[in-house]
Chain A
Amino acid sequence: MSETISTASAPPPPISSPPVPTLLELCAAFAIIALCGFGGVLAWSRRMLVEERGWMTPEEFNDAYALCQFLPGPNVVNLSVVFGRRIRGALGSAVALLGLLGPPFVIVTVIGLIYAQFGEIAALQRMLVGVAAAAVGLVMGTCAKMALPLFKDPLGLAPLLALATLVSVGVLRWPLYWALGGLIPLSIAIAWVRR
C-alpha cells in the first residue's frame, strides 16, 4: 500500500480506494475509540478503523498494529500517530493523538480531583480495593492469553526469556534499564540466529 497522504485539493479517490477521513473525522474517531475502550483499546480501534469506517483493510491494520506494538510507548498512542500520518501527515498525527488522549485526560483529571477530595472516604476506599484486585486479575488473564503463542517455541526459549523478564523486573525489582539492557539484545540475537 502506498502512502496515501492527500491534500485538500486532491481529486476524489477512485472507487477502489478506502474513503479518506477529514481531520475532524479523524479526531472524532480516535475520541470514540478512547471513550469506548475499557480495559484495552485495541479491539475498539480495529472495529472503528477497519469494520465501521473502512479506512484500513484488515491486513493494513495488522501491519500497522504490529509496528506499533514494538515501537516503544503506548501501543494505541503509536497507532494514532502512524495512522494519522498515513492519512493527513503531521497534522493528521496531531489530531488523532488529541482525539485519543484529550477526552480521557479530562475524565481522569476530574476523577483525580474527586479522589484527592474524597479518596479517604471508607466506602470509596473499600470499593477501590475490590476493583484493584480485579484489575490485577484482568492484566494477568490478558497476559496469559498473549503468552500462549510463546509456548509453541520448540526449544522453549521464548517462555524462558519472558520468565527472566518477569523475575528481574517484577520480583527482583531491578531498574527497567538494567534488566532490559541485557535481555532485549539477547532476545533479538536469539531471534536473529533462529530466523
Chain B
Amino acid sequence: MKDDGGILLTLAGYFAVMSLFAIGGANSAVPEMQRVAVEVEHWMTARQFSNIFAIAQVTPGPNVIIVTLIGYHVAGLVGALVATLAMCGPTSLFAFYVGRVWEGFKDAPWRSAIQAGLLPISIGLIAASGIVVASATAHNFVAVATTLATAVVTYTTRLNPLWIFAAAALLGLGGLL
C-alpha cells in the first residue's frame, strides 16, 4: 500500500506525461487513462472506468474533467485537484509559450505539415477511446444497439446529446441493458 504522498505523485506523473500526448483533445488520452487506471495500477474495474467516463460526458464542462473523477476515485479531493492540475498545467504552460511563438510562423510550410500530420493520429486516438470504453459497455444486444443508435444519431443530426443520454438512462433504469 502506497502512502498518500506516493499515490499523489503517481497520479501527477501519469497525467502530466499523458497530457503531452493528448493530441486532438482530452478524449485522445482516454485509452491510455483506461490502460493505466484499470490494467496497470488496478485503481478500478473496466466497468467502473466506463461509469466514470459516462459521468464525465454528461457533466457540463470540458471532457478533460474525467481526470478529476479518476483522481477523486483514487485519492479523494486532493487526488482530484492533483490529477486536474497535472493534466492541465504542463500543457497550459506549453500553450502559453508555444502559442506565442507559433503565431509568428502562421504561414510556414512546416506548420501546416505538422498540422496535417497530426490530424489522422488524433482521429485514430479518439476512435480508440470509443473502442476501449465500448469493450466494457457492450455486454448485451440492447447496449450495443444503444451505442450504435447514438453514433448514427450523432453523425446524422444535431440533436442535443442530453436527450439521448436521458433516453439511455431510462433504458438502463428499465433494466434493458
Chain A residues packing against B (C-beta within 8 Å): 34-41, 63, 66-78, 81-82, 85, 90, 93, 97, 100-101, 103-105, 107-109, 111-113, 115-116, 119, 123, 125-147, 150, 158-159, 161-166, 169-171, 173, 175-177, 180, 183-184, 187-192, 195
State the CA gap A82–B61 with chains docked (Å): 18
Most chain B C-beta atoms within 10 Å of own C-beta, residue among A132, A138, A166, A180? A132
Most chain A C-beta atoms within 10 Å of own C-beta, residue among B29, B55, B121? B121
| Interface size bracket, B side | 35 or more
**Residue pair A143, B133 in contact (C-beta under 8 Å):** no
**Residue pair B60, A38 in contact (C-beta under 8 Å):** yes
Q: Which residue from A36, A73, A125, A169 sits with its C-beta under 8 Å from B88?
A: A73
Most chain B C-beta atoms within 10 Å of own C-beta, residue among A39, A81, A141, A163? A141
**What mask results when residues 86 to 102 of chain B are scored 1 for a CB within 8 Å of chain A, else 0?**
01101110111011101
State the CA gap A90–B170 with chains docked (Å): 46
The interface residues of chain B lying within 8 Å CB-to-CB of A136 are: 50, 53, 130, 133-134, 137-138, 147, 150
State the CA gap A136–B57 with chains docked (Å): 9
Chain B residues packing against A (C-beta within 8 Å): 17-27, 29, 31-32, 35, 39, 50-51, 53-65, 68-69, 72-73, 77, 80-81, 84, 87-88, 90-92, 94-96, 98-100, 102-103, 106, 109-110, 112-134, 136-138, 143-144, 146-155, 160-162, 164-165, 167-177
**Residue pair A142, B147 in contact (C-beta under 8 Å):** no
State the CA gap A97–B162 with chains docked (Å): 25
Most chain B C-beta atoms within 10 Å of own C-beta, residue among A73, A141, A195? A73
State the CA gap A41–B123 with chains docked (Å): 17
Q: Which residue of B lies closest to A169 (CB)?
A: B128
**Residue pair A180, B21 in contact (C-beta under 8 Å):** yes
Q: Can you list 19 pairs linking A and B with CB atoms under 8 Å apart? A: A34-B60, A36-B60, A38-B162, A72-B23, A78-B92, A93-B96, A113-B72, A116-B73, A128-B172, A131-B54, A133-B177, A136-B50, A136-B147, A137-B148, A140-B134, A143-B130, A169-B125, A171-B131, A177-B17
**Residue pair B147, A72 in contact (C-beta under 8 Å):** no
